[in-house]
Amino acid sequence: MQGRWLLTAFCLVIAVMLLFPISLLAAGVGIAPRELEFNAYLGSSANETLYVINTGDSEAEYEIYVDEEYKDWFDIAPSEFTLVPTEVKEVEVIASPPLLSHGNYAIRIYIIAANPSLQLGVGTGVKVPVQLHIASWPLYVAIGMVVLLAALAAFLVWRRSRVH
Amino acid sequence: MADIKKRIGAFLGSLLLIFAVILTILPIPIVAYSNYPLSCSDTEIASALDYLRNSQTTQGDIGGFATSAWVTMAIAAGEEDPHTWKVGSNPSIVDYLETHAGNANVSIAPDVARMILAVVAAGESPTDFGGIDFVDALKTLYDDGQIGDASLLNDDFWGIMALVSTGESASSEIIANSVGFIKNNQNDDGGWSWAINQSSDVDDTACAVMALIAAGESSGSNAITNSLNYIKSQQADNGGFLSWGATNPSTDSWAIDAIVAAGQQPTSSYWTKNNNTPIDDLLGFQNLDGSFPDWQGNPSPWITAYAIPALLGKPYPVEVLQPQEPGSVYVRVEGQSNTTWSGDVTVTESDITADNSGTTYHLLDPTALGALDEASNHEERFSYYVTDEYGGLYAKSIAGEQPGGANGWMYRVDYYSPSVGADQFILAETTPPAPPHEEVLFYYGAWTDLPLKISVNKTAVAKGEEFSVTVSVYNDTAHDWSACENATVYADHDYTTGSDGKVNITIDRDGTFNLFAEKSGCIRSDKVSVKVGTGVGSQAQVSLSVTITPAISIEVTPDSIDFGDLAPGYTSDACSITIENKGGMSVTVTAETTDQAQGLFTNGLKLDNNSWRLFSNTINVNDNLETQAELAVSLDYAGVGTKAGTLIFWAEES
């Protein structure tokens, strides 16, 4: 009698497990390279490629962004995407520093993987250091050239006005 | 009218003032290349080296065999070790050159010279590189007072530079006579061509200048002065040097090399034309990727390799072997049936006791006998018996092998049989043979026995891949080498050379084989190693596969947490979260929480009983960390219903 009861209970447990599998999914993100370095000139842009992989075991949504202060300096394409497990996305990061911003900058790019959830969604993220070096001399040389040409043009106009 | 003039004047004045201000604040001078030579850390050099580095194949070569030699010189000029230039764990560029040393045509002097220059630049021995004695090969091409083809000059230019790079004395017969040959064929305009009786060109004139200066010619001599005048006459308005009517980076590079070799500054006013220097023109050719283009405008490792030494002010030869350390010599002891000992020794002075008389002799100089004595004291020591019964000291027996009949122990220096006893032959001094002395050979045999030499065209082959072995025999009268027919070559088994002294060998099993040659009436050759095995040689192919893990990667389990039903003032049960480092670096992990629930999660979430804000842990590669998450709902929390939030674990490289 007791044996039959145990057998019934065991079968019920198995049936419940089959009907309602316990889900313990993992969220994961992997990136390469470990840091990005941009060498840009004023008035120009520089590109680097970032690779993002879903190392988890469920589909996840990914978002990439930079420090708020520098968000206008970078174009990230794509900045939002979905990856299935093991899928890799090639992301183009373009640094287009504004004028008069020469120097060296230490910035971060954030790659975040999260699952929208009605509960507390647990996600993962990676912070990638970015070194941005902006050289100024090409712009200055260009400005110098423009000024020089303007001066030359003004001089020619002045000479013509004297002749006439 | 006067008003208009005044306005224009004011306008012009303003513009000039603005321009002057801009020039003053410019952080980089407009004339960027006044500081010559460039240094290895300058962007132009660094990017050129990067370009070359990125052009390397997994075989180790950069731009093929010949170009790899030039690149090796450029790497050395850039103060980097070419041995470290490799793709991952693949062969270095030096390995590549050594493995493919047989590709060099030893009958063409410029080919041999190029290899010598590259091998010396790599810090290797040009007398034994890939089983080939390139120095000997070059000297063999010396004929009738010049190197190589008597109608050519460029083989003399590069031949001299190569020999100088090996430490050969400028007063040696080959160099002295070849210098004379070059000077005798200088054209009336001061220049040289690649061949005699041909029109001058900048490239070959520059090479001639480098060769002559390397051979000790004074930079103020007529030959050098006239040649520099010729080069100057070919300078274009853009600062570069004309070749076929236009400037190009190759010609610019060699001309700059020549100017520097002659002790002049290519950015000096003399070498500046229309405010342009040769350096300006050369750098004007550099592409954004650091490369320099070939004649078709394509990025070229070859031309880039020319440009780097020129920009660094390091004309050819970029490296010169240091003079031999006195008394440093390679000793080989060939017994009746095997090699007793071989290796390098350094000997200064020696105390040698004659075994027959017990008298100790103090040899003040490094001698051939002192080298034998030094060798006998090495770890793999051997005994020898020395006697003074014949006047000087004589090594009568070595390793127990006694003289018998017409056979006994004799010695040679650099294969030459000296006319003095081994105790009187002072290394790096006694002649003949002329110093530097590289090898002292003690051998058991007859007076008439002649040395054998063995070389291979490949030092590493795939299993079943054929390679060629050449055996030469020394001529004691002509003091040169000739093909040795019917010599027995020992490899995996015995082979016999043909009338050309060659035999082709194929080995069908893995291993490293020390090949040597023997022949009756000859002295056993030294050994040359050939590596046979999978993954070696041009015919072997191995499929390679690797999965690269991300540089930084973490995985968190689970990907959501349900804390269940909670009332204000209550705390949930702990939920376990596992964080795994799946990347290639150790990471520091921190946490961040967001919510759209009036601070439910940002205020109430705890990790390991602390606020999530305090969470910071380092996780090593392939390691994981478990943390306990709880949610405490404050008593005054006003919300009801299901609330959502996000907990992010951030990873940063530690």
Domain ranges (residues) in chain B: 1-30, 43-311, 328-447, 452-532, 554-653
Query: What pLDDT score does B201 carry?
Result: 95
Are B290 and B49 a contacting pair, CB within 8 Å?
Answer: yes
Query: What pLDDT score does B541 carry?
Result: 43
> Of the segments B88-92, B209-213, B435-439, which one has the largest average pLDDT value?
B209-213
Q: Please give the residue of chain A at the shortest CA–CA distance from B631.
A: A120
3-state secondary structure at position B629: strand
Task: Enumerate residues 70 to 109 of chain B having a beta carbon within 8 A of any beta carbon in chain A.
Answer: none
- Distance linking the first and last C-alpha atoms of chain B: 73
> Of the segments A128-137, B87-96, B258-267, B377-386, which one has the largest average pLDDT value?
B258-267
Give the C-alpha distances (Å, rounded to integers) separating B537 from B91, B95, B101, B467: 12, 12, 12, 10
In chain B, the percentage of residues whose pLDDT exceeds 90 is: 59
Domain at B554-653, CATH homologous superfamily: Immunoglobulins (2.60.40.10)
How far apart CA B605 and CA B610 sit, in angstroms, is 8
Query: What pLDDT score does B5 carry?
Result: 58
Query: What pLDDT score does B348 carry?
Result: 87
Which residues partner with B46 through β-bridges?
none
Give this prediction's pTM: 0.47
Q: Cβ contacts (< 8 Å) between B18 and chain A: which residues?
A: 147
Contact A147 B19 (CB under 8 A): yes
Q: Cβ contacts (< 8 Å) between A155 and chain B: which residues?
A: 12
**Which has more pLDDT, B421 or B35?**
B421
The CATH label, of 3.65.10.10, 3.40.50.1100, 3.30.420.40, 2.60.40.10, for the domain at A25-136 is 2.60.40.10
What average pLDDT does range B70-83 have in this prediction? 94
Contact B648 A112 (CB under 8 A): yes
* Domain map (residue ranges) of chain A: 25-136
What average pLDDT does range B267-287 have in this prediction? 93
Give the C-alpha distances (Å, rounded to integers) separating A124 from A118, B555, B556, B587, B652: 17, 7, 7, 13, 11
> Is the Cβ of A24 closer than 8 Å to some Cβ of chain B?
yes
Query: What pLDDT score does B367 carry?
Result: 93
Residue B31 in this model has a pLDDT that exceeds 70: no
How far apart CA B510 and CA B251 sit, in angstroms, is 47
How far apart CA B587 and CA B549 sit, in angstroms, is 14
How far apart CA B194 and CA B217 sit, in angstroms, is 20
Query: What pLDDT score does B90 carry?
Result: 87
Backbone angles phi, psi at B264, to 5 degrees: -105, 165
Concatenated DSSP letters of B576-598:
EEEEEE-SSS-EEEEEEEEESST
Say which CATH topology domain B328-447 has.
Ferric Hydroxamate Uptake Protein; Chain A, domain 1 (2.170.130)
Q: Please enumerate, as own/partner, the contacts of B270-275 that have beta carbons within 8 Å and a separation of 24 or more.
A: B270/B232, B271/B232, B271/B235, B271/B239, B272/B239, B273/B235, B273/B236, B273/B237, B273/B238, B273/B239, B274/B237, B274/B238, B274/B239
Contact B649 A115 (CB under 8 A): no
Are B460 and B474 a contacting pair, CB within 8 Å?
Answer: no
Contact B15 A151 (CB under 8 A): yes
Cα diameter, chain B: 120
pLDDT band at B627 (very low <50, low <70, confident <90, very high): very high
Contact B19 A129 (CB under 8 A): no
Q: What is the mean pLDDT of each run of 10 residues along chain A (164 residues)?
A: 51 42 68 86 80 86 90 91 86 84 84 73 89 71 79 85 66
Are B561 and B608 a contacting pair, CB within 8 Å?
Answer: no
Contact A34 B563 (CB under 8 A): no
pLDDT band at B48 (very low <50, low <70, confident <90, very high): very high
Contact B12 A158 (CB under 8 A): yes
State both tokens at A9: 């209970």
> Is the Cβ of A44 closer than 8 Å to some Cβ of chain B?
no
pLDDT tens, position by position, B228-275? 999 999 999 999 999 988 999 999 999 999 999 999 999 999 999 998
Are B241 and B211 a contacting pair, CB within 8 Å?
Answer: no
Selection from B168, B189, B191 nearest residue B178 by Cα:
B168
Query: What pLDDT score does B526 carry?
Result: 93
The reply to whether domains B43-311 and B452-532 share a CATH topology is: no
In terms of phi and psi (left: phi > 0; alpha: psi -120 to 50; beta: otherwise), the region of A13 is alpha
Query: What pLDDT score does B27 carry?
Result: 36
Q: Is B482 exposed, middle or buried (0-12, 13-18, 19+ CB in 10 A)?
A: exposed
Q: Which CATH number is associated with domain B452-532?
A: 2.60.40.10
The CATH label, of 3.50.50.60, 3.30.930.10, 1.50.10.20, 3.40.50.720, for the domain at B43-311 is 1.50.10.20
CA B612 from centre of chain: 55
Query: What pLDDT score does B538 carry?
Result: 41
> Is the Cβ of B601 closer than 8 Å to some Cβ of chain A?
yes
What average pLDDT does range B479-493 have in this prediction? 90
How far apart CA B515 and CA B525 sit, in angstroms, is 9
Backbone angles phi, psi at B382, to 5 degrees: -135, 160
Residue B279 in this model has a pLDDT that exceeds 70: yes
Mutate which of B5, B24, B554 to disrupt the A interface (most A C-beta within 10 Å)?
A: B554
pLDDT band at B396 (very low <50, low <70, confident <90, very high): very high
Query: What pLDDT score does A159 carry?
Result: 81
pLDDT band at B23 (very low <50, low <70, confident <90, very high): very low
> Of the segments B147-156, B510-519, B586-595, which one has the largest average pLDDT value?
B147-156
Query: What pLDDT score does B332 carry?
Result: 95
Kind and range of the H or E element at B627?
strand B624-631
Distance from CA of B272 to the nearest CA of A (A): 22
ipTM above 0.85, yes or no: no
How far apart CA B590 and CA B107 sit, in angstroms, is 68
Cα diameter, chain A: 126
What average pLDDT does range B292-313 have in this prediction? 94
pLDDT band at B457 (very low <50, low <70, confident <90, very high): confident
